[in-house]
Amino acid sequence: MMPMTDCDAVMRQFWDYLDGELNEATMAAIDAHVQMCSHCNPHIQFERAFKAALRSAREPVAELTPLRDRVRAALAAAGYEAP
Ligand SMILES: [Zn+2]
């Protein structure tokens, strides 16, 4: 069975995919790919966690904590080791 999309195609459309800016068929094709692909899946998981961390870091209530620490905490909460 041929995959509907490949790693290069996923990486080219990576940010649009994360932002949900692609059409439904393309989103579905990339969804299907990243669920099966051991190369793309960790990328997507990491960037999702990173974007979520940046979003929460923009909340004014968190201003007392340095951005780096907030990103690190959010990544840790998502299961990623802090560097
Ligand atoms: Zn892939």
What's the confidence (pLDDT) of residue 4?
58
Q: How far is the CA of 37 from the centre of ligand 1 (A)?
A: 5
Contact 24, 31 (CB under 8 A): no
Contact 52, 78 (CB under 8 A): yes
* pLDDT 10s digits, 14-66: 989 988 999 999 999 999 999 999 999 999 999 989 888 888 877 766 566 78
What's the confidence (pLDDT) of residue 58?
75
Domain boundaries, given as residue ranges, for the chain: 1-37, 40-83
Contact 30, 23 (CB under 8 A): no
Residue located via tokens 């690190």 = 72
Q: How far is the CA of 41 from the centre of ligand 1 (A)?
A: 7
pTM above threshold 0.85: no
What's the confidence (pLDDT) of residue 2?
47
What's the confidence (pLDDT) of residue 26?
93
| Ligand 1 ion: residues within 5 Å (CB) | 7, 37, 39-40
